[in-house]
Structure 1
């Protein structure tokens, strides 16, 4: 029996080796992919940059791309520096992105406390970075550097500059100055936008080129939420993000905490509109899991009105119309001197609720009263949900609704009217409950289960659009869950879920995120067109704040020069966003006409479909309709691992290099184990026979 045991042990070891996660190109570089159709956008993890920062120290946050030099600029909060990365190594199939240069704050020419954002001008000649002062309540700076990192100029802007972008015509740099208060809430500077005229020689830039606009003289509608009751709107409104239309005429400013978008006339240098984004009603149509103490995945309708509060934004054009994409993360003001954040059960105890059915579409007053009587404000139901005290009360001083942070979705808004034309509803949580039943609503620094349901769920943080081989896609980064949602934007008023991919590696319930966890917490997304890519294939850069890494994803099928020669016109005008969600000014073909009935259009079947090559899986053959010029003589096998279908309705299609068990390999391993047992058993019987 000793030999039998040895045989079993040997074969079991072989099975364990075969069923370990398969690595595409290096240790701990894995990609998990889910799609609900066989023609989902092909995605491959091709490289990674590791900043070396400690976990959750902000080693990478925002990334901009320099197409002229095939390099990227990454904000490194851990080192309070700007990192310059070499992406040209992708041409040689290198999988580790090297650091070319690190520029600390001490070398940028101003006394600053941090580096928060970076953008490259449309011509690719220089970059701008935002640098808040220390203390942050004083005016900050924008520093202009050449693409080698040498200082060109710097100017003073508003307090807490948090994001910078360029107008598509390259004449203006625009800065979102958040104007956050100090921790004691004794100093609360005005939130503002700085408009910097960069149309002249950047080396001659001085303070006269800067105009900072705030909300002091702007008429603010009554429905705009005010967080701090004793502040003015000029103090309370905190610009978070900026995108600019194709004509470089208007900037759209996200004001996250106040749940609004402001429209800025760039040439007139004044705000012309401030629009509330309203509430998302979870009492009907949309569901959410509202508790981390309900012992499972519990998606259902609740009497919750949640504020959208977008973080990342992107501009997108289709059918001659401009649309705004928003990642509806949610955020609260939570300072030592003032905090609006409180759990529902504590509000129920300290202030009280008198829920009003007139505010909900899904309940009668009797149903609401029954829900309250049946423990609505207990931990297992809504008691744990984080809510805000900065909402209206009735004449009795009671709250008439339960309010939540963030919409747990992405939305599309008509840029002209700022009216919503689409919201992804409860898609994100529904799909995560299927894709990650063991890590549903997890956190970004540990592998918990259901741990963020009482806060903002998967927390969509960033969004960008891009044109890949004949289709326009929206990419939404989920800060807590760790991956990227992909939607087909062919019909902007009715996008379709395409796929979800993630290079985060889970290590078991409640395990801490480490350097072995791949990439967690996508903070900034940058789309690179095939024409500007080092490998002549569309790329997505995803900067992950918790792991301090940047993942480089290749999108669509790798193409050849012959494919490129047959490319049709719709691959030329992509209209996608560049760094930081800034639109590059290119026109987007989109659909040929709008769908006035807001119905999903049927896919176009007129174009001839390309047959899959021997290297390409059958289920990806339709994603290669409009191939881009590869610009390289390298064999297509260099990027050969593509989507492999698992034919599992619950788990979707996955790339071969998944972090979960591969059932096909397990089956093979089991057969080998059985064969080994038979051989060992036969050998033992022969030994006994000869004895």
Structure 2
């Protein structure tokens, strides 16, 4: 079996970085579900992450468990659980010196009565000194020489009060505590007065993130105040300045089920969250935005407050190109850069920007702080919050806080990347290099060009109900490229009420599309024929004999065999016996409907259904999968039925059951990416050279890691 893992490029770096792909790159080598550090039943979350000085143990804050968790990465490709330590409140941050963890813990009773501490713990759980901070802490940073720890005491605002605006008293501050022999010296606790600095709510500073440079200078963001301060180790404010505003062109600011990047925002406060020193004179800030729309990028500022570089919309555009744009957040903060890390690998300084809503990491070469260069985009778990670089071991680690385990979704994960020789393996698919910015996501059905090897058409599903689209993929390139996007239209306008799950060539330059209906959303169960321009030229509704037993789990694929269309139904309808699902046929000449039955596997958990149908040689191939993710995934496979058995019987009577066999177990291929096994393998096609390809659905980056896998499985 051959799996093709593709090299990332984007419009910003396609021409600029050919040597990077041939020399050194970051590549994910492992993922660790943090539920392994507990019984797995309760919600758990990796938020802020640090590493012991020797780089062998990871420590992360776990807010839902009220604990810090630990991971053994002696073998980084096989991370192992070390359990967790309860900390007596909500941990908001953790920093590590040698093998001692310094944990900021929120013990607040209310927004108006905040409280918190910083406490040290050995890796064996031994508790050291506890210093009362007098307020609710947020982030922490230890001086590079280990002499002190800085804690942003945010005293965060109540987002439900006063329209969520500052000021809301009490105001925040910056705490500094000396460290001696890896122990806190609480008697040295001192505070930096940050009031009166910002133009926005100067009486209520809300420090968010801190970092310390080699000179012992602390940079701190005051996010809601849109301000930045540089503070000495003694608590003296050395300088301060506004983070300023940014204007964005070519963005999608409307949550409307369409990816259209033709809107603008003007003079939006940056409202930075993460901050890192990148040299003695420059800091990088992640401009999450918070209250005023979101600025969707990041900036480099000098220590005097001058903006020397700003990403504008380019970072978000790069994420659009690799399918990680979260359209549901268009009217909020877009990709939402939040956390960040800085480190030097192989002599090159890098800034790592964590896009929380895009679930991806931008890797920027900042050799020239005035001209950062996007080198890669890395796939992450859902909602990356924290990162730690371990350059001595050529490792980068992210903590991804979202835990959807209670709903059968992905768990919170720690993900590990190695800086190594060779081409990066992600993304598998990009629209970079097209003649315009093409947004794409939520891919479902896949069809091969019958004449040109490596050329495909793929459709998106109802997540983009306002913009049903057929994308052209050129997989002869690495990574595969989306070269065109054709909107499906009805009377010249984007067709509404479609949930396209399957596509098949019609033999005349157009395609047949299968739409999964859902009556409660007024989406009909139907098949559609479109011409080469995407215009619907024929619509065929499912017959009454079929619709009489309707459920929402309808058409998930379409294929043509000898003048007959075959539609794979995802799951059992009301008239089907248990574990039986219909393969429905439509004779294009006689317009007669029929069906056969396929016996799907019984699920170990959740459900099992079909998600694609295609034809190759003497067999009809199907994707049979469960809806489980990660370690819980058990059934992801390609099966096949001899074409000779595909003899339909009329609907309404007894239907024949076809035999099938497993052609390939997909779990090894899905696990080969270093991430967790995704649930939605949605597309399957054989190209003109006979290679089998699959594509996965990323659910529009909504409660999803955003990863789309496009894998060449070779001949079956």
- TM-score tier, shorter chain, comes to 0.5 to 0.7
Summarize deviations over 1:585-610 as a string: whole Å, max 9, x none: xxxxxxxxxxxxxxxxxxxxxxxxxx
- Partners of 2:189 and 2:59 lie apart in 1 by 24
| Secondary structure of 1:491 counterpart | coil
Structure with higher strand content: 2
1:474 offset after TM fit, Å? 1.7
Summarize deviations over 1:548-586 as a string: whole Å, max 9, x none: 110001123289xxxxxxxxxxxxxxxxxxxxxxxxxxx
1:67 offset after TM fit, Å? 3.4
- Partners of 2:382 and 2:42 lie apart in 1 by 9
- Partners of 1:471 and 1:116 lie apart in 2 by 31
Specify which of 177, 180, 196 is matched with residue 156 of structure 2: 180
Tell me if 1:553 matches 2:417: yes
Summarize deviations over 1:156-190 as a string: whole Å, max 9, x none: 11311011111122211110000124577597322
Tell me if 1:544 matches 2:400: yes
1:188-337 pair list within 5 angstroms: 188-198=169-179, 200-201=180-181, 203=183, 205=184, 207-216=186-195, 219-220=196-197, 224-226=199-201, 233-234=202-203, 236-248=204-216, 250-267=217-234, 269-282=235-248, 286-293=249-256, 295-302=257-264, 304-317=266-279, 321-332=280-291
- Partners of 2:57 and 2:253 lie apart in 1 by 43
Q: Which residue of 2 aligns with 1:370?
A: none
1:33-52 pair list within 5 angstroms: 33-35=8-10, 36=14, 37-38=17-18, 39-40=20-21, 42-52=25-35
- Partners of 2:284 and 2:181 lie apart in 1 by 33
1:32 offset after TM fit, Å? 8.5
- Judge which range, 189-198 or 54-63, deviates more: 54-63
Q: Which residue of 1 aligns with 2:143?
A: 167
| Secondary structure of 1:430 counterpart | helix
1:33-112 pair list within 5 angstroms: 33-35=8-10, 36=14, 37-38=17-18, 39-40=20-21, 42-52=25-35, 59-68=45-54, 70-90=56-76, 93-94=77-78, 97-106=79-88
- Partners of 1:663 and 1:64 lie apart in 2 by 39
1:23 offset after TM fit, Å? 10
Specify which of 328, 349, 360 is matched with residue 483 of structure 1: 360
- Partners of 1:241 and 1:304 lie apart in 2 by 26
- Partners of 2:315 and 2:41 lie apart in 1 by 26
Specify which of 481, 488, 491 is matched with residue 648 of structure 1: 481
Shift of the 210–58 alpha-carbon distance from structure 1 to 2, 3 Å rule, reads same
Summarize deviations over 1:374-426 as a string: whole Å, max 9, x none: xxxxxxxxxxxxxxxxxxxxxxxxxxxxxx333111111112x1211001111
Calculate the aligned-residue CA RMSD, in Å: 3.4
Specify which of 143, 154, 158 is matched with residue 134 of structure 2: 158
- Partners of 1:495 and 1:207 lie apart in 2 by 40
1:212-611 pair list within 5 angstroms: 212-216=191-195, 219-220=196-197, 224-226=199-201, 233-234=202-203, 236-248=204-216, 250-267=217-234, 269-282=235-248, 286-293=249-256, 295-302=257-264, 304-317=266-279, 321-332=280-291, 404-415=292-303, 417-436=304-323, 440=325, 442=326, 450-503=327-380, 519-529=381-391, 531=392, 533=393, 538-547=394-403, 548-557=412-421
- Partners of 2:267 and 2:43 lie apart in 1 by 33
Shift of the 472–303 alpha-carbon distance from structure 1 to 2, 3 Å rule, reads closer
1:455 offset after TM fit, Å? 0.4
- Partners of 1:277 and 1:431 lie apart in 2 by 24
1:324 offset after TM fit, Å? 0.6
Shift of the 56–241 alpha-carbon distance from structure 1 to 2, 3 Å rule, reads farther
Aligned residues: 425
Summarize deviations over 1:490-524 as a string: whole Å, max 9, x none: 21101112121214xxxxxxxxxxxxxxx211100
| Secondary structure of 1:670 counterpart | coil
Tell me if 1:129 matches 2:103: yes
| Secondary structure of 1:451 counterpart | helix
- Partners of 1:501 and 1:55 lie apart in 2 by 29
Summarize deviations over 1:347-389 as a string: whole Å, max 9, x none: xxxxxxxxxxxxxxxxxxxxxxxxxxxxxxxxxxxxxxxxxxx
Q: Which residue of 2 aligns with 1:3?
A: none
TM-score (norm 2): 0.54
1:51 offset after TM fit, Å? 1.4
1:296 offset after TM fit, Å? 2.3
Shift of the 79–33 alpha-carbon distance from structure 1 to 2, 3 Å rule, reads farther
1:453 offset after TM fit, Å? 0.7
- Partners of 2:9 and 2:301 lie apart in 1 by 27
- Partners of 1:65 and 1:237 lie apart in 2 by 30
Summarize deviations over 1:617-650 as a string: whole Å, max 9, x none: xxxxxxxxxxxxxxxxxxxxxxxxxxx9336376
Shift of the 672–483 alpha-carbon distance from structure 1 to 2, 3 Å rule, reads closer
- Partners of 2:27 and 2:226 lie apart in 1 by 35
Give the conservation status (yes or no) of the 8 Å contact 1:158–1:193. Answer: no
| Secondary structure of 1:311 counterpart | coil
Specify which of 87, 95, 105 is matched with residue 119 of structure 1: 95
| Secondary structure of 1:142 counterpart | strand
| Secondary structure of 2:319 counterpart | helix
1:432 offset after TM fit, Å? 2.6
Summarize deviations over 1:134-163 as a string: whole Å, max 9, x none: 315333100012233311111111311011
Shift of the 56–322 alpha-carbon distance from structure 1 to 2, 3 Å rule, reads farther
| Secondary structure of 1:556 counterpart | strand
Q: Show structure 1 runs of 5+ residues with no match.
A: 1-17, 25-30, 107-112, 227-232, 333-403, 443-449, 504-518, 560-643, 674-691
Q: Show structure 2 runs of 5+ residues with no match.
A: 163-167, 404-411, 424-476, 485-670, 694-716
